[in-house]
Amino acid sequence: MAEGAPLTTPRSPQSDDPRYASRRLFGRLWRGYLRPHAGKMAVAFVLMVIEGSTLGALSWMMEPLFDRVFVAGDPQAVWWVGGAILGLFLLRAVTSVAFKSLMALVAQRSTTAMQVDLLRHMLRLDAAFFQVNPPGALMERLQGDTQA
Per-domain residue ranges of the chain: 34-147
* 8 Å CB contact between 102 and 65: no
Instruction: Note if the pTM is more than 0.85.
Output: no
Question: What is the chain's mean pLDDT, rounded?
Answer: 84
Nearest-CA neighbor of 49 among 84, 81, 91, 90?
A: 91
What's residue 3's pLDDT? 55
Which residues have CB under 8 Å from 118's CB, separation 6+? 142, 145, 146
What's residue 15's pLDDT? 60
CA distance 145 to 45: 26
C-alpha to C-alpha distances, 20 to 12, 28, 113, 127, nearest whole angstrom: 11, 11, 21, 28
